[in-house]
Chains A and B, each alone.
Chain A
Amino acid sequence: MSALRQGLDWGKLAPLRLRAKSVADGVYAGGHRSRRRGAGIEFGGHRSYVPGDDLRFIDRHALLRHGELLVRQFETETDRTLCLLVDASASMSYCGERAPGAKYAFAALVAAALTKIAVGAGDRVSLDWFGGERTVELATAGGREAFERVVGALETAQPSANMHADLPALERAVARVERRAMRGASVVVLSDLLDLAVGAEEAISSLGVRGKKLTVARVLDPDEVDFPFTGPLHLRAMEGEARVETDAAAARPQYLAALEAQGQRWSERLLSRGGSLVLLNTADDPVKAVRKVLDAVGGVS
């Protein structure tokens, strides 16, 4: 456990609360409008009636004046929910020599910053997990209090658990998010996508249906990105039983190709459900990382 804490290395990122605010300020301040038209407050114009339109929005005055069936449209301020699903499995505690902290710490910082931005825009935020210990799931809430609760939950959680063979746990987490996220909600999954059970791609990508916007942010350590090792290696997975004895120079090209192929597979699967994949390196600037996520979510105007 102490090793995990050391791996998290909150000292370099913390206090999370302050750092998240700083990151959020650097990224964006202000509300963001929905492009969705429909039921709302401000009038947004007319359009021709098509069968299936709500009869309540037929403009009777325009019918009498012009003799055509027109439907009134409205623009609304967004109150979209941001649903965070954070991977707290054991592999997220990995911290290479070149990274400022563990993958989980970086993911937590990004999640907190997104929360701060969402709360600042008046949106509501929910938090769910797969894997981990001392995790606290937070129901959809908004306001300053919501941000404090999210930060507290992120700080309390400890990455652990072997998700390699635990697909039901992942499916349960996905089901919780589905229940919270209504049409128009943004779902952001923060995970390294490593050592997940078979079927995890299908389970996570299913969050992109029914009008939800799914963004998966893949958080990787610099060691995982470029495999900088040399000489003979004896590697052990942090989840599952995989053990490999290899030579770094000989294995590097094949490893990088396998990592690339795995990312491509996830990307194609998410794209087919309207989602997107964002790659984050824990050695990167967190501000840029959050921007990449927001760009993928499509919420920045």
Chain B
Amino acid sequence: MSFLVAAALGVGLLIGLPIAAHLLRRGKARERAFPPTALVPKARSVARERATLEDRALLSIRGLLILCLAVLGATPFVRCSRLSLTRSAGASVAFALVLDDSHSMRARGEGGARWDRALRAGRELLASAREGDAIAIVLAGKPARLALAATMDLNAARRTLNELDESDRSTDLDSAVGLARTSIESLSHHDKRVVLLSDLAGDPLPEGEPALWTPVPDLAKPLENCAISSAERRGRRIAAHVECTSAAAAAGRALQLVGVKTEQPVALAVRAGIQELGLDVDPKLEHPELELTGADALKEDDRAAVAAESAALGVLVAADASNASAETGGPPVLEQALSALGGNTELHPIALLPDDPNEFHGNALLLLDDPGGITPEARGALVAFVEQGGVAVAFLGPRAERTPLGATLDPFVHGAVHWEVKTPSDIDEKSLSWLGPEASGLHDLALRGRAGLSTSDLLGARVLATFSDHQPFLIERTLGRGALYTVALSTSVEHSNFPLRPAFLALLDYFLDEARTRRGATQSVAGTDWLFPLNASVSIEGPHGALAVHERAAPAFGTQKAATPTLTGRYTLRIDATREERVVTLDPSEITTQPQKPPANAAQARANGNGNAGSVDASPEIGFIALALLALELGLRVLRRVRRERATSAGALRSPAE
């Protein structure tokens, strides 16, 4: 600190002057002798009270004013700690603000919640932006979203920041950083930056340009946390999964039912990672909730609603083990593939399609491999299942053209199906590109047949993928809240290599996702979309009020109604006349993933002077505050004068009467 700064700040010592003046002025009224004092009642002086209040206000204002002047005198030597953008030669900057709105950002540290600190940092950076700068805002909660496309409208950016809310989503840093880089890629600005405001608890950050800048490294401090990732009712028991970041976080903590005193809490094992715990529960208890005793950095995940029984996605699989199994034996390929996909699914192999709709209860997906025909009773049950949100998939094989009398493949296809032996060798990869990178390996499938779908089969259906000769490979037909998918190949390895390709697993995963979203699993991870038919009447009540349902247009799937629960808890849905309850849980990886070190390029970005976290001239703000204080003092003094004059005139009026 230089002599000038010290001298300027020394002016602040003059704050003693108004304090001394105040103490002298507010001295008590001089005591005076008055013989009939005993006849005078005690009375709290309103005027004195008011004067005291006004005196204090004036004292505070004058003291602050002196301090402001002292600091103002010390600027630009004194600078305030605030994030800002530095510019090379004063040029405009294009920057993408990546804000992590995942669950782990709700953790509280010394400086408050991480999310609040990130928002504050974003606002500070935005405050240092000026006309000509472009800004994009990307949210890194899963799935990564573009909250604001690159724009030079700084007011729009401020509005967007103000509208952002914290969530319990999992982290998707990889996609978010990619999205951020893409969003500013096409801008003409020479100086481009990506600002990452995250705790970095997620996948490794991708390399690339522009380099990342993590201006608030404190966000990435490790934390101690235990959380209930999921809880499901199983008869008289509750099975709960609890995850802890470390053994220390689990020490001394226990799991208990909220509001139930009779059950003893179950102590957590003192170790890091996931642990499954069971608690007894009264079957009559409605909407039970679990909580963890003790406290940690994230209190929001210490309490969770218990999902209804069978929260796992029920999948019915009708596959003939003799035709659809590998030559080495074992269960059918479909079942093996579903097992390989893992996830929270429950497989139920069936030999025949159920005739009773109630037999579909608890299941969301039906996979039929090489069906030989569907009887009218089974069709009725199947249609009822699909209309209520089920997803049915038929992998057509040679038996499709040998349906017995009275049985058809309706509602999957309306006409007769021919099993074609002469076929082009591949599926059109481009038509399946929506499936992801796995679709790229669909060449040399060694097809030995396919189901030829006639034009009548395509009425009311959408073709999602085709063979290389443009014949339909996959068609979708929506029915009520559910959907029917017809695949022109069976899962038998005797007919093609398709079941052995990654695209097959990706396709099954797609069907599982569709089943989850359409049927609505009783448990889903925060941030997962809930989709509903466009014509359905949907209202959702969540733990924090009503959840907005909006229409969403997807080029490949048409317009649907969608809602995205971003906070964990129990949600009540009313879909047309039916009422459902769903529980939104945390992604377990969100709890245990510890913050990573910022990549080397982040340090490089700081070194290059992307921003500055500690040297902003505070003169304008301090000057403004000083002016405001001055105006306040003047106002207060005018008010006092008016009151005094009123009091004087009132006294003058009273004197003659006395």
CA distance A224 to B36 in the complex (A): 7
Q: Please encode chain B, from 610 to 625, with 1 for each CB lying within 8 Å of some chain A CB and 0 for all others.
A: 0000000000000000
Q: A234-B29, A247-B46 are in contact. Are A228 and B658 (CB under 8 A)?
A: yes
- B47 beta carbon closer than 8 Å to chain A: yes
With contact pairs A247-B44, A250-B43 given, residues A91 and B35 touching in the complex (Cβ less than 8 Å):
yes
Return the CB mask of B21-48 against A: 1 if under 8 Å, else 0. Answer: 0000000111111111111111111111
Whether A234 contacts B46 by the Cβ 8 Å rule is no
Q: Is A35 an interface residue (CB 8 A)?
A: no
Is A259's CB under 8 angstroms from B35's CB?
Answer: no
Check if A237 sits within 8 Å of B45, measured CB to CB. no
In the complex, what distance in Å separates the CA atom of A231 from the CA atom of B651? 10
Q: Complex Cα distance A227/B46, Å?
A: 19
A194 touches B36 (CB 8 A): yes
Q: Contacting A236 at CB < 8 Å: which of B34, B39, B43, B48? A: B34
Given A223-B34, A235-B34, is A262 in contact with B39 using a C-beta cutoff of 8 Å? Answer: yes
Among A116-124, A238-246, A276-284, the stretch that binds chain B is A238-246
**Please, how many angstroms separate the alpha-carbon atoms of A237 and B43 in the complex?**
17
Tell me which residues from 212 to 264 in chain A have a Cβ below 8 Å from any Cβ of chain B: 221, 223-224, 226-228, 230-240, 242-247, 249-252, 254-255, 258-259, 262
Total B residues in contact with A, Cβ cutoff 8 Å: 24
Q: State how many angstroms separate the Cβ of A248 from the closest Cβ of chain B.
A: 9
Instruction: State whether the Cβ of A94 lies closer than 8 Å to any Cβ in chain B.
Output: yes
- Residue ID in chain A nearest B44 by CB atoms: A247
Interface contact B32-A259, CB-CB below 8 Å: no
- B72-90: CB near A (< 8 Å → 1, else 0) gives 0000000000000000000
Please determine whether B47 and A243 come into contact, CB atoms closer than 8 angstroms.
no
Contact B39–A235 (Cβ < 8 Å): no
Q: How far is the CB of A237 from chain B (nearest CB, A)?
A: 4
B29 touches A232 (CB 8 A): yes
Please tell me if A195 contacts chain B, counting CB pairs below 8 Å.
yes
Task: Report A-chain residues with C-beta under 8 Å of the C-beta of B38.
Answer: 194-195, 237, 240, 242
Q: How many residues of A contact B (CB 8 A)?
A: 37
Please tell me if A155 contacts chain B, counting CB pairs below 8 Å.
Answer: no
B48 near A259 (CB under 8 angstroms)? no
Once the chains bind, are A234 and B43 in contact (CB under 8 Å)?
no
| Residues of A close to B42: CB separation below 8 A | 244-246, 251
- Are B43 and A224 within 8 A (Cβ)? no
A94 touches B658 (CB 8 A): no
Chain B minimum-CB-distance residue to A254: B41
| A interface majority secondary structure | mixed
| Chain B: minimal CB distance from A301 (Å) | 36
What residues of B have a CB within 8 angstroms of the CB of A128 in the complex?
none
A252 to B32: give the CA distance in the assembly, Å.
Answer: 16
Cβ distance B646 to chain A, nearest Cβ, rounded Å: 13
Bound-state Cα–Cα, A28 to B263, Å: 107
Chain B residues with Cβ under 8 A from A262's Cβ?
A: 39
Do B40 and A234 touch across chains, with their CB atoms under 8 A apart?
no
Determine which of B35, B41, B651, B658 lies in contact with A224 in the assembled complex, contact meaning CB atoms within 8 Å.
B35
A223 CA to B46 CA, complexed, in Å: 23
Task: Flag if A233 contacts B32 (CB, 8 Å).
Answer: yes
Interface string of B355-389 (1 = CB under 8 A from A): 00000000000000000000000000000000000
Could you mark each residue 268-283 of chain B with 1 if its beta carbon is under 8 Å from any beta carbon of chain A, else 0? 0000000000000000
The reply to whether the CB of A192 lies closer than 8 angstroms to some CB of chain B is yes
Chain B residue nearest to A94 in the complex (CB) = B35
Chain A proximity of B235: nearest CB distance (Å): 76
Chain B residues near A236 (CB-CB < 8 A) = 31-34, 37
Evaluate contact between A244 and B35: CB separation under 8 angstroms.
no
- Interfacial chain A residues near B32, Cβ < 8 Å: 233-236
Closest chain-A Cβ to B27's Cβ sits at a distance in Å of 11
Known: A233-B29, A238-B33, A254-B40. 14 other contacts (CB 8 A): A194-B38, A223-B34, A230-B651, A231-B47, A231-B48, A234-B30, A235-B33, A236-B31, A237-B38, A244-B40, A245-B29, A247-B48, A250-B45, A259-B36
15 contacts between A and B (CB under 8 A): A194-B35, A194-B38, A221-B35, A227-B40, A228-B658, A231-B29, A238-B34, A242-B37, A245-B42, A247-B43, A250-B44, A251-B42, A255-B36, A255-B39, A258-B39
Closest 4 CB pairs of A and B: A247-B45, A91-B35, A250-B43, A237-B37
